[in-house]
Chains A and B, each alone.
Chain A
Amino acid sequence: MKQSMTLGKVTKFIGLAGFLGTVKNMFTGKLEKEDFKNFLRKVIVPLASIFLFFGLWYLGSKSLYNIEAEHRIYKALVEQGPTEAEKVRTCIASGDISCQPNTLPSPAQVWESYKMLLADHYAISADKQAFKEKTAALNVKRIANGEAPIVYTGRPSFVDQILTSLKTVFAGFLLALFIAVPIGIVIGLSKTLRSSVNWIIQIFKPVSPVVWLLLVFMIVKTLNKDSSGDSSFIISFISVGLCSMWATLVNTAMGVSSVDKDYINVAKVLKLGPVQKVFKVILPSSLPLIFTGLRITLSVAWMVLIAIELLAQSPGLGSFVWEEFQNGAVDSNSKIIVAMFVIGLIGFLLDRIMLTIQKMISFNKNDGI
């Protein structure tokens, strides 16, 4: 019972409730005639769209594969003569890895890569665990002697990269939160301040993530001269924070400056002090807008993160994608597509989490979001 309840919550959370509910009704025989339309809309059409998506993908990758293969054969023919061309043709047809055309991978290839990445992750985790056990005793000794413990420096697995990215985006998001919300409140409260800093917001808001990265790079590089630590994490999370904070800043300022006049009148009639007025009236009433801003900030942060990691050479999904691209191995392309799905899925989940929080704190339960 409890399990099904939490299951219900989860499906509702990811927005599948309608679909699963209808499927369940179908199996439990509760489906009425008028439910047929519902069934069509909530089950058939989504399923059809999934099939269509994979079908198009499959056909697209197949035709790209053929184009690429023909091109190779043609190239061999021109450069090395007909016998070589025939060799290439048989090689491609045999499915030999060494001569596979490298193009958009098919769904099956991507699935294979996904399984491989997962297996790779388990292998690396096991390796790490073994390393930890091996060095445990030694590390205790080293720490006792005031030396730095030995850490695992092997290649990170795909899952490690995901976790690194999540860590970076979370740090960037917190930075955005701690910069944008207080500043937003302050400029929301003062009309003068609002008009005097408006130009800063207008100018910096549209600046591309790449430029932010370079700017942060300039500053952090100078400040971080004498510390030996790796500054790529710092650079990337600060850039992510700076790119993504504008939505929160603008929404907070907007929420604070547009508090319902009735609430302000209540604060005046109760004679609340300025601090009380901000914390008991202005902030609660602007919370929904602040959270709308934070939700946008998080999704922007996740989106720019990949590009920033890629450029800043900081570990994470972005550099994973870039390394695979540079690598150019047979399965690199399908690994990139796996990463693409993972990025999309995580972005979707982050957005859902924010939406749930947003709904929870919204005091107007009827207000649609």
Chain B
Amino acid sequence: MAYLELKNIYKTYGQGETTAQVLSNINLTIKEGEFVAIVGFTGSGKTTLVNLINGLLEPTKGEVLFKGEPVVGTSHERGVIFQNYSLLPWLTVGQNIYMAVKEAFPKKIKSELHAIVADYVEMVNLTPAINKRPKELSGGMRQRVAVARALAMKPEMIIMDEPLGALDALTRGNLQDEILNILGKDKRTALLITNDVDEGIYMADRIIPLRPGPKATLGPEFKIDIERPRDKTALNDNPNFKKTRNAIIEYLMDIGNERKSDVQEEYVLPDLSPKSFVSQF
């Protein structure tokens, strides 16, 4: 049985004249224990898709089924790593994680919770920074805190929205390994959103491109038949890797060219106005 299933999902933002149709006819099935990556251009609706799955948003049309049940609201079974870390700036690293752990395991006593926090902080190599606030951390460190916070709740499925998007290549590689390590320990289901094809190939079992919006749909899937654990340096010489990588990049370039040639296509800018409080009071 499918673990996570998206059936004919449509998502529109706004109403009336300002309607923006972001996702259109999305169908996706993920099996238990599988690692799926979705690659897409910026602004194509990846975060929207993620929020539909984790329950922060509701689809305009269609169904999201998690273990056969429709998704209503968020759940501790689906952990989220947000694209922009979303750490609470007034809490320290330890407190940020503690808050999550406490909610996930309400029956555990304080010392047990602290032990979990310490474990996961250690796992992402942040023990020296456990009492620092997010502002005092580098981007990579913040991202690691976000990873630790999501994983410490021991969700059955982990949803990652460009978790390493803001990092340099070196840090990125290290964190990829850390995430794979932690996930590999108890073989959890994972959905990774990324804009880096190599990252997708290195980490996932399947890669599915999200065609650029508006009205973004999923493209054909690419299976990654490379044995785990994968070796990053050896990967470059792996014929399978080269083949898959070329196929995906070719596909994405084709989409990109299509977009360019579609000159008459109108790009409607979202109707965003600066937050104004003056009118409120």
Asked, given contacts A262-B82, A268-B73, A363-B133, whether A194 binds B280 with beta carbons under 8 Å apart, the answer is: yes
Instruction: Type the 1/0 row for A277-308, where 1 means its CB is closer than 8 Å to any CB of B.
Output: 00011001101000000000000000000000
Tell me whether chain B's interface is mostly helix, strand or loop, or mixed.
Answer: loop
Q: Does B100 contact A (CB under 8 A)?
A: yes
Q: Are B135 and A363 in contact (CB under 8 A)?
A: yes
Instruction: Type the 1/0 row for B14-47, where 1 means its CB is closer than 8 Å to any CB of A.
Output: 0000000000000000000000000000000000
Q: Are B281 and A250 in contact (CB under 8 A)?
A: yes
Question: A268 is contacted by which of B56, B88, B89 (Cβ under 8 Å)?
Answer: B56
Asked, given contacts A201-B281, A262-B86, whether A364 binds B99 with beta carbons under 8 Å apart, the answer is: no
- Please give, as numbers and ranges, the residues of chain A lying within 8 Å of B277 by CB-CB distance: 254, 258
**Which B88-135 residues sit within 8 Å CB-CB of chain A?**
88-91, 99-100, 103-104, 133, 135
- Please give, as numbers and ranges, the residues of chain A lying within 8 Å of B55 by CB-CB distance: 268
Question: A284 is contacted by which of B54, B84, B88 (Cβ under 8 Å)?
Answer: B88
- Please give, as numbers and ranges, the residues of chain A lying within 8 Å of B275 by CB-CB distance: 258
Distance A190 CA – B135 CA, assembled complex (angstroms): 30
- Please give, as numbers and ranges, the residues of chain B lying within 8 Å of A262 by CB-CB distance: 82, 84, 86
Distance A265 CA – B100 CA, assembled complex (angstroms): 13
Q: Does B8 contact A (CB under 8 A)?
A: no
Q: Does A253 contact B (CB under 8 A)?
A: yes
- Please give, as numbers and ranges, the residues of chain A lying within 8 Å of B80 by CB-CB distance: 269
Instruction: Type the 1/0 row for B75-89, where 1 means its CB is closer than 8 Å to any CB of A.
Output: 110011010101011
- Please give, as numbers and ranges, the residues of chain A lying within 8 Å of B84 by CB-CB distance: 262
Q: Are B103 and A270 in contact (CB under 8 A)?
A: yes
- Please give, as numbers and ranges, the residues of chain B lying within 8 Å of A271 by CB-CB distance: 74-76, 103
Our count of residue pairs bridging A and B at CB distance below 8 angstroms stands at: 60
Asked, given contacts A262-B82, A265-B86, A365-B135, whether A254 binds B103 with beta carbons under 8 Å apart, the answer is: no
CB distance from A355 to the nearest CB of B (A): 19
**Which A229-263 residues sit within 8 Å CB-CB of chain B?**
250, 253-254, 257-258, 262-263
Instruction: Type the 1/0 row for B56-68, where 1 means its CB is closer than 8 Å to any CB of A.
Output: 1000000000000
Most chain-B Cβ atoms within 10 A of its Cβ — which of A198, A254, A269, A363? A269
Q: Are A281 and B88 in contact (CB under 8 A)?
A: yes
Q: Does A272 contact B (CB under 8 A)?
A: yes
Which residue of chain B has the shortest Cβ distance to A289 in the bound complex? B277
Distance A198 CA – B278 CA, assembled complex (angstroms): 12
Distance A300 CA – B75 CA, assembled complex (angstroms): 47
What are 20 A-B residue pairs whose CB atoms fall within 8 Å in the complex? A194-B280, A202-B281, A254-B277, A257-B280, A258-B275, A258-B277, A265-B56, A268-B55, A268-B73, A268-B74, A269-B54, A269-B74, A269-B80, A270-B99, A284-B90, A284-B91, A285-B88, A287-B90, A363-B133, A366-B135
- For the complex with contacts A263-B88, A284-B91, 8 further pairs of A-B residues with Cβ separation under 8 Å are A254-B277, A265-B56, A266-B86, A269-B54, A270-B103, A285-B88, A287-B90, A363-B90
> Residues of B at under 8 Å CB distance from A?
54-56, 73-76, 79-80, 82, 84, 86, 88-91, 99-100, 103-104, 133, 135, 153, 275, 277, 280-281
